[in-house]
Amino acid sequence: MRRVVVTGLGLVTPLGADVETVWANILAGKSGAGPITKFDASDQKCRIACEVKPADHEYGFDPNKRVDHKVQRQVDPFIIYGIDAAGQAIEDAGLTDMDESTRLMAGCSIGSGIGGLPGIESESLVLANKGPARVSPHFVHGRLINLISGQVSIKYGLMGPNHAVVTACSTGAHSIGDAARMIKDGDADIMLAGGAEGTVCPIGIAGFAQARALSTNFNDEPEKASRPYDQARDGFVMGEGAGVVVLEEYEHAKARGAKIYAEVIGYGLSGDAYHVTAPHPEGSGAYRSMAMALKKAGLTPDDIDYINAHGTSTPLGDELELGAVRRLFGDAIGKVSMSSTKSAIGHLLGGAGAVESIFCILALRDQIVPPTLNLDNPSESCLGVDLVPHTAKKREVRAVLNNSFGFGGTNASLIMRKAD
Amino acid sequence: MSDTADRVKKIVVEHLGVEADKVTEDASFIDDLGADSLDIVELVMAFEEEFGVEIPDDAAEKISTVSDAIKYIEENKG
């Protein structure tokens, strides 16, 4: 059987635009939240977000490093973040100079939950105010979700599968899971897999606020707004950025002496079949997704030491996920650590599952689990579960589970462990 | 150099992300400046905005160098 390992990582997040900076900030308990600066949000119910910081910031993002000037002008932020994160991952994996036969078996599976919303918003205003003849000729391909995979394949000459998942907030996890299967099936030896999002724009914030999904009680204290499992939580904080990993067939990675971070051993998927935005009241979809991933991995709950929770800081979602984990884990619930890094970088929507999988991989590497910030007064249902409040925790980490759940009732779970 | 030429070159530099000294009057958008056909559509739109001229599709198709653009604008601007 073909095994799938992770050999490269790339991150663009509100806490930094390279893997080590982001990880150090996460472990230090920093928050990427702040007042919205990308537009005047004074008339919005939610006026905060976890924005990717500008290049001159201490841990800002410089798009000029890896994205051509012309491409930057033509595409939405999510594509720029995705191209950069993919470039980081390729560089990290030592794959910047692949020969043609390698590139024929290298592909991309980098998706997004929403895609080019800022550009759709602004170009709709051009259409309304100036007419159709002023709409950009780059409008369509600068907004399409599969255009991270498209751009990255063109830039690096990757001729294998070119795929893009769109499953709302489960996108990043599904992207990695689907890509791992493509490698297992022999469609590719190398896959760039992950997700990106960039929807901090007026209609993005208004839309999620109107769906009653965003935190609106902490506009004056942005760093306190994302507080998964805390009694005062009132919705998620929108984040933006991208996470991309290089997945590689194990023998292929070994033959070229690649650094191997982790092995992808379990992937579970399910549908709630219940409601477009509300999670199933018994968390049955979440339960089945995790159970499938465990079964595929050939593990039992005792083997899992860390769960990076979906944990968005919404009143309903956090409880239901925790309930599903509790039922699945039984007595093993007392030994596992489970945290939500959305407390630090917000909810990256289609990027979340990929970014959080990278945190899981780094937890395996460094034998430390990242904290859940702002967990001052845990909900009663949290009793007896280590949610890693406030500070990172050194502990044994043998295998990790990442959960991602999305609108439409779509669930994905990934399990990884250190490769032998 | 005329004011029109300056403004045309500035737009080309901004849109195509090329060095200003490469944007000579003889330069071909596609062969010398790395543009594709959609980039030219976008450039033509930018010229229309900047100079308040209308450049119909059949005229736009004949604009392949920087000097073609300058000449058309000089002859047609109000």
Q: Is the pLDDT of residue A333 over 70?
A: yes
Are A4-262 and A268-418 equal in CATH topology?
yes
Nearest to A282 by CA among A229, A313, A329, A320: A320
**The pLDDT of residue B77:** 82
The structure tokens listed for A132 are 């159709």
Cα–Cα distances (Å) from A158 to A112, A152, A223, A384, in that order, read 19, 8, 40, 48
Q: Is the pLDDT of residue A45 over 80?
A: yes
Angle between helices B37-51 and B66-76 (to 10 degrees): 30
Which residue among A68, A69, A136 places its CB closest to the CB of B42?
A: A136
Q: Report the alpha-carbon distance of residue B12 to residue B47 in Å, rounded.
A: 9
Q: Which residue of A has its CA nearest to B56?
A: A133
State in words which class domain B3-76 has: mainly alpha
* Residues in A touching B41 (Cβ below 8 Å): 137
**The pLDDT of residue B2:** 80
* Residues in B touching A154 (Cβ below 8 Å): none
Q: Please give the mean pLDDT across all residues of chain A.
A: 97
End-to-end CA distance of chain B: 20
pLDDT in tens, A269-306: 999 999 999 989 999 999 999 999 999 999 999 999 99
pLDDT in tens, B45-61: 999 999 999 999 999 99
**The pLDDT of residue B1:** 56
Burial of residue A127 (CB within 10 Å: 0-12, 13-18, 19+) is middle
**The pLDDT of residue A251:** 98
Residue A234 in contact with residue A317, Cβ under 8 Å?
Answer: no
Nearest to A85 by CA among A168, A19, A166, A1: A19
Q: Is the pLDDT of residue A258 over 90?
A: yes
Q: Which residues contact A133 (CB under 8 A, 6 or more apart)?
A: B45
Residues 68-87 of A with CB under 8 A from B: 68-70, 73
Helix (H) or strand (E) holding A146: none
What residue ranges of chain B have pLDDT lower than 70? Answer: 1, 78
CATH superfamily of domain region A4-262? Thiolase/Chalcone synthase (3.40.47.10)
Q: Chain B within 8 Å of A62 (Cβ-Cβ)?
A: no
Which residue among B17, B41, B45 places its CB closest to the CB of A70?
A: B17
- Which residue out of A46, A50, A108, A169 is catalytically annotated? A169
Residue A70 in contact with residue B39, Cβ under 8 Å?
Answer: yes
Count how many pairs of residues, chain A against chain B, have C-beta atoms within 8 Å.
Answer: 20
* Residues in B touching A137 (Cβ below 8 Å): 38, 41-42, 45
CATH superfamily of domain region A268-418? Thiolase/Chalcone synthase (3.40.47.10)
Active site residues of B: 36
Q: Chain A within 8 Å of B74 (Cβ-Cβ)?
A: no
3-state secondary structure at position A380: helix
Q: Is B45 in contact with A70 (Cβ distance < 8 A)?
A: no
**The pLDDT of residue A91:** 98
Q: Report the alpha-carbon distance of residue A380 to residue A44 in Å, rounded.
A: 32
* Residues in A touching B34 (Cβ below 8 Å): 70
Q: Report the alpha-carbon distance of residue A93 to residue A113 in Å, rounded.
A: 26
Give the mean pLDDT of A172-191: 98
Q: Chain B within 8 Å of A137 (Cβ-Cβ)?
A: yes
Residue A298 backbone class (left: φ over 0; alpha: ψ -120 to 50; beta: rest):
left
Give the mean pLDDT of A138-167: 98
Closest Cα in chain A, distance from residue B3 (Å)? 24
Which residue among A69, A134, A138 places its CB closest to the CB of B17?
A: A69
Closest Cα in chain A, distance from residue B66 (Å)? 18
Q: Is A50 a catalytic residue?
A: no
* Residues in A touching B15 (Cβ below 8 Å): 70, 73
Q: Which residue of B has its CA nearest to A134?
A: B45
Closest Cα in chain B, distance from residue A179 (Å)? 32
CA-based diameter of chain B, in Å? 31
* Residues in A touching B16 (Cβ below 8 Å): 70
Residue for token pair 């000459």: A157
* Residues in A touching B39 (Cβ below 8 Å): 70
Residue A400 in contact with residue A263, Cβ under 8 Å?
Answer: no
Sorted by where each begins, the domain ranges of chain B are 3-76
Number of H helices and number of E strands within chain B? 4, 0
Sorted by where each begins, the domain ranges of chain A are 4-262, 268-418
pLDDT in tens, A215-255: 999 999 999 999 999 999 999 999 999 999 999 999 999 99
Q: Is the pLDDT of residue A100 over 70?
A: yes
Q: Is A69 in contact with B41 (Cβ distance < 8 A)?
A: no
If you ran DSSP here, which 8-state letter would residue A346 be given? Answer: -
Q: Chain A within 8 Å of B34 (Cβ-Cβ)?
A: yes
Q: Is B17 in contact with A137 (Cβ distance < 8 A)?
A: no
**The pLDDT of residue A310:** 97
Q: Is B38 in contact with A134 (Cβ distance < 8 A)?
A: no
